Structure formats: C-alpha cells, structure tokens
Amino acid sequence: MSRDSFGGRATAIMALAGSAIGLGNIWRFPYIVGQNGGAAFIFVYILATVILSMPIFFAESIIGRRSGANGRGAFARLAPGTKWHIFGLLSVLIPTLIVAYYSVVGGWSLDYLFKAMTLSFTSGEGVPAFSSFVSSASEPVLAHTVFLLFCVIILLGGVRKGIGLVSKYGMPLLFLIIVAITVYSLTLPGAGKGVAYLLAPDFSKITPQTCLEAVGQSFYSLSLGMGIIITYSSYVNKSENLLVIGGGTAISDMLFAMLAGLAIMPAVFAAGIEPGSGAGLIFDTLPYIFNSMSQSLPLLTPIVAILFFLTVLFAAVTSAVSLLEVGVAYLCQEFSMHRRNAVAIVATFVWIVGVLCSLSFGPLSGVTIFGYSIFDVMDKFCSNILLIIGGLLFVIFVGWQMKRPDVWDEFTNSGAKKANVRIFGVVYFLIRYVAPVTVVLVFLSNIL
C-alpha cells in the first residue's frame, strides 16, 4: 500500500467519520439505549466518550501518525525489540470477528431495502414483524451471503476509489434523511414519551452493567480498540491537528447516534414497541414509521424509505470492507498470499461465523452461551471485552511505553498548535491515569 496522506483536514475527518458512522450509530445505539434504560445510559455514554474514548482516540492517532504504520507494524516501529507487537494481533482478530455479525445486520438492511423497493412498506399490507423475518433462517442467511459477496467484489475489484466518492455524498444524504425521519417521528401521537425517555434521566438505572455497555457502545461506535484509527491516522498529514480531527470525529459520531435515537425512540413509543426488545428494534420501528408516513405523504414515502435503506446499506458496506481489509492485508503481507486467496479465506471464515450468528435467531436459538444467543455473545464479547482490552493497551502504550516528549511532539505538532500545548497536560493525564484506571474499574465492577 502506498503511504499517501489524506488530502486536507476535511478529507481526513470525512474518512475517519466514515469509518465511525455506521450501523453502530443507526442500528446498535437505539437498541442498546432501549435495553439500558434510556437517558441515564446516554449520560454515561457521553461521559465515557469524553473521558475514555477521546483520550483513546488521541492515543491511537498518536501511535498511527508517529509510526506511519498500521496497527501491527506500528508497535514494531515504535517499540522495537519489545513484546508489544504481539498485541498488534488483536488488531487483526477483532475486526474479523466483528465483521461476521456486522455482515448479518448488513444483510438485514439489504433485505429491507428490497422490501422498500417492492413498496412493501406502503402497500397497506404491512411488513411482517422482524422476529418472523429473522427466525425464518433462509432469508436472512441469503441476505448475509449477498451482502458479503458485495464486499468481496469490492475487495477484489479495486473500486474503492469509487466507493469513497459515493460515501462522500452518501453520508450527508443519510444525515438529511435521518433529520427528515426525526422531524416526522416527533409529530407522531405519543412521541413525547420517547423524547422524555431519551432526555430525562433516571439515575437509579445506572448499574455496573450499564457502564460496561456504555463504554462498549462508545468504543464500537468510534471504531476504537482495534487499531483501525491507528491505520487511518498513519495517513493523516503531519501538519494536521489531531485534537481537531479526534474531537470532530467524536462529536459528529455522537450527534449522529443521538439523532438516530431521536428518529427511532418517539416512534417506538407511538407504536407501542418494547424499547428493550433488542437487535431488531429499528427493523420493527421503521416499517411502522414508513407505513404511517405513507398515509399523509403517499408519493414521497417510498422514495424516503428506499433512500434511507440504500444509504444505511452504503454505510454498512464501506465499514464492512474496511473491517475485512484488515485480515486480507494481514494474510497477504505475512504469508505472501495472493490477494484473491486471502479474500477467499477471510470471506469464508466470516461467512461461516456469520451464518451461525444469523441462525441463532431461528434454528439455533436454543444454543446459548452464558445465557446469551450466539449473536449476542459475539456482539458483547467483541464490544464489551475485546475492544475495551484493545483500548486499554493503546492508552497504556502511549502513557507508559512511549516517552512523554514524543507524545507531546506528536500531539502538539512540535509545539505549533498552541491550544494543544495548553491542554496537553489534561490529555496526557487522561491517557496515562484516568482512562486505564476507569476501564479497569468498569471491568472489575462487572466481575465482582
């Protein structure tokens, strides 16, 4: 891979925001909020983003830009002769596991796009409940397979430039559509309850489990803890301001998630859907929204529905491709494998694990691990354990292994960015002490 840098600041932020904003904001955030009691969870999530995720984001971008290398190579370059490079393996394993169930949800979006195109939302007959779709086995497995095949074609075809171009327009379009859906959703009868659920915190709902979920969601949503930000930051120009890029990405990611919550939750209450019903939340709620929207806006609704699922699908494909690329690049570099073979191996592994995740809503629903379905175990294990361990290692590396002057130099652009110089002490303190200690406490409080 050539080591070109991202053009300007806007491009760097767009690329990082493109990786951050995805199913995590639109699909995962609303349902995790619903399972964890609403506003109080959001409060912890915002706090976790500011005191944990932002420092970890800075740590990863410092590692990436300093080394100019990907998640694994970075450790070998910055700490040669140490064992740190072993942890770099996590940055291959985690994305490959995540993409397995990401692809299943990508398949659901594809299936719902198909439903939108065949006007199923607006035909008056309604779409069957998500639970009957997802437990039907063959349809979601087929959708997962087709979604993964799309990704494989992109990985093999080298058309990623085109993809970048489309996502440049796709993301803003997705944003506009979500704003439109939010505005509509707020007019539904009973919407106020949904807004109160998101904005009026009941702090008694905060438990150690809620805190772990909030940290996991924040890491997942910002693509932290798996070396993705290290790799992306290695392409960021030396003259760019890491504070602005990290802060910009975190804020836009949070806003996107909040917006998705505001689009979904009022309708959840209006439709009488259980907010804690789980991974299918948006797939139950959106058909309800589109159905009722079509009564007042019959011509516009199918267009909104199609564009919505198209852009969600796009956000999912771009994220999935970047997740798959990590394993592919690893096999190519480490084992001098032909790209085609590497893609075949990674895709086959991901397909098999994904099929198991998908079937866990139907024929395999009886198989549980620690009381969770296969899908939930994968999601919880990756977000709430692996990503958090990854993030912990990255802050420990920057806070305790790298030398403070090097960290200062990278974060402040050798002193050129005055605001960064001023807040460096705070950021370094967060990286060195607050983030690692908090992460360990959150973990321990869940185990004990």
Residues found near ligand PFF in the complex (CB under 6 A): 19-20, 22-25, 95, 220-221, 223, 228, 319, 322-323
For ligand PFF, give the closer residue by CB, 301 or 384. 384
For ligand PFF, give the closer residue by CB, 246 or 362. 246
Q: Which residues pair with 368 in a beta bridge?
A: 373
Position of tokens 């198989």? 367
Q: Closest approach of Cβ 102 to ligand PFF, in Å?
A: 7
Q: Closest approach of Cβ 443 to ligand PFF, in Å?
A: 21
CB 321 within 8 A of CB 150: no
DSSP string covering 32-93, please?
HHHHTTTHHHHHHHHHHIIIIIHHHHHHHHHHHHHHTS-HHHHHHHHSTTSTHHHHTTHHHH
For ligand PFF, give the closer residue by CB, 20 or 44. 20
Distance CA 225, CA 53 (A): 9
DSSP structural state of residue 7 = S
Distance CA 36, CA 212 (A): 11
Q: Closest approach of Cβ 20 to ligand PFF, in Å?
A: 5
Radius of gyration, CA atoms only, the chain: 21
Distance CA 27, CA 16 (A): 19
Q: Closest approach of Cβ 228 to ligand PFF, in Å?
A: 4
Q: Closest approach of Cβ 317 to ligand PFF, in Å?
A: 11
DSSP string covering 340-373, please?
HHHHHHHHHHHHHHHHHHHHTTTTTTT-EETTEE
Task: Burial-class residue 168 by CB neighbours within 10 Å (0-12, 13-18, 19+).
Answer: middle
Distance CA 211, CA 233 (A): 28
Helix (H/G/I), strand (E/B), else coil: 123: coil
For ligand PFF, give the closer residue by CB, 40 or 382. 382
Helix (H/G/I), strand (E/B), else coil: 338: coil
* H helix count then E strand count, the chain: 23, 2
Distance CA 359, CA 378 (A): 13
Residue of minimal Cβ distance to ligand PFF: 24
For ligand PFF, give the closer residue by CB, 198 or 260. 260
For ligand PFF, give the closer residue by CB, 127 or 321. 321
For ligand PFF, give the closer residue by CB, 41 or 269. 41
For ligand PFF, give the closer residue by CB, 293 or 346. 346
For ligand PFF, give the closer residue by CB, 294 or 319. 319
CB 285 within 8 A of CB 264: yes
Position of tokens 């694990």? 353
Torsion-angle region of residue 114: left (phi > 0), alpha (psi -120 to 50) or beta? alpha
Q: Closest approach of Cβ 204 to ligand PFF, in Å?
A: 29
Backbone phi, psi, residue 373, to 5°: -70, 165
CA distances from 138 to 111, 167, 379 (A): 12, 30, 22
Q: Closest approach of Cβ 304 to ligand PFF, in Å?
A: 22
Q: Closest approach of Cβ 140 to ligand PFF, in Å?
A: 19
For ligand PFF, give the closer residue by CB, 19 or 185. 19
Q: Closest approach of Cβ 74 to ligand PFF, in Å?
A: 16
HSE, CB side, 13 Å, CA atoms: give it for residue 127.
Answer: 26
For ligand PFF, give the closer residue by CB, 20 or 286. 20
Q: Closest approach of Cβ 318 to ligand PFF, in Å?
A: 8
For ligand PFF, give the closer residue by CB, 291 or 322. 322
Q: Closest approach of Cβ 413 to ligand PFF, in Å?
A: 26
Q: Closest approach of Cβ 220 to ligand PFF, in Å?
A: 6
